[in-house]
Structure 1
Amino acid sequence: MTKHLKSLTVLSGLALSLIAGAATAAPVLMSAEWAAQACESFNKNAILVDGLGGKWIENNKGRGYKVIHMYRSDCEDSPQVEMRITEKAGKAFCSYGGKVEMAKLDSGADYLMYATTEKWHDMGAGEYGPMKAMMFGRLQFQGPKMEAMSVMKPFEQFLLLAGKVPSTEASCPK
């Protein structure tokens, strides 16, 4: 093999490594890309799909869906992300995850959740559940609180998405 061909082979290998690395890079936690992947993970979790079905998903103000907005409170000026949970045959499925499309939430049906990056990481790792997170102010929460209290087990699974969906916390969402 000639010196030129060897150099070309090495450069090609490096270029492929860079492309593959970029293609598999984890999205930023609480970015639109992360929310889309969280939506997919939601639908693969029977505790979420079944546990949030019935009474919880039926409280949707006649729209057929509930909206959850989330963000990292230590990321100033970062946009919120949205997950839309839709009722299908009495079960709850995530039908959208990404940038906020529904700017105004209905406080009787929808949810807003925010925490610092560190606390999202802790909740995603299962270090504590939603009850402790809310009681100690680690998770700020707006929405129908009594309704949320009635679905603590699925809500715990929801918070675990912050750890189960691959992400990077090195930067804030743009």
Structure 2
Amino acid sequence: MARKVGLSVALVLAAAPAAWPAPVLMSTEWARALCAAWNADPVLTRQLVESGWVKNHAGRGYKVMQLYRQDCPDSPRIELRVSEQDGSARCVYGGAAESKLDSSADYLMWAETKRWQEMGRGEYGPMRAMFFNRLQFEGPRFEAMGNMGPFESFLLLVGKVPGDAASCPAR
């Protein structure tokens, strides 16, 4: 009997997260989930250390990436901070944008919602997205070009982290 109850509880708990709504795409809650997904991605955590990307942090000890949905003009930006920890490029903060960007080290990226979704599904990578102005980008371009594999992995995370795109993030 106890075994049946335990199995029933496990099944209910396994199904419960599916009943919870996904956070709004590019909201602060979604940014926290994106940060956790970053830390689970071996391409991002390893290759961005190997290339030296994570070391270009303007003396703060972390790089900043701010993102937003272009078709949500009144919504706040979100921010990821990435720092080298134990030989890995780890996301140490995901949430509301708080940092002043340094254009020699940090990134600002924006696109229409449908473009974020297309990139997240892997329909095209960062080179095509930038060439056709589907992804707008400010930051150290040569550094980004030298890290296209990790950049593509980052864009794919947008599709891996559940997010509700039916509404814009609220202030």
The correspondence of residues 1-174 of structure 1 with structure 2, limited to 5 A, is: 24-54=20-50, 55-102=52-99, 104-174=100-170
Unpaired stretches in structure 2, ≥5 consecutive residues: 1-15
Deviation at 1:90, TM superposition (A): 3.6
Q: TM-score, normalised by structure 2?
A: 0.87
Q: Tell me the number of residue pairs that the alignment of Structure 1 and Structure 2 aligns.
A: 154
* Same amino acid, percent of matched pairs: 58
Find runs of 4+ consecutive structure 1 residues off by over 4 angstroms: 20-23
CA distance, structure 2, for counterparts of residue 92 and residue 24 of structure 1: 30
CA distance, structure 2, for counterparts of residue 75 and residue 30 of structure 1: 10
Larger gyration radius, structure 1 or structure 2: 1
CA distance, structure 1, for counterparts of residue 68 and residue 139 of structure 2: 15
Unpaired stretches in structure 1, ≥5 consecutive residues: 1-19
Q: Secondary structure at the match of 2:156?
A: helix
- Post-superposition CA distance 1:5-45 (Å, at most 9, x none): xxxxxxxxxxxxxxx68972100111000000000000000
- Post-superposition CA distance 1:38-72 (Å, at most 9, x none): 00000000001011114100111121100000000
Tell me which amino acid in the other structure corresponds to 1:150: G
RMSD: 1.4
Deviation at 1:133, TM superposition (A): 0.5
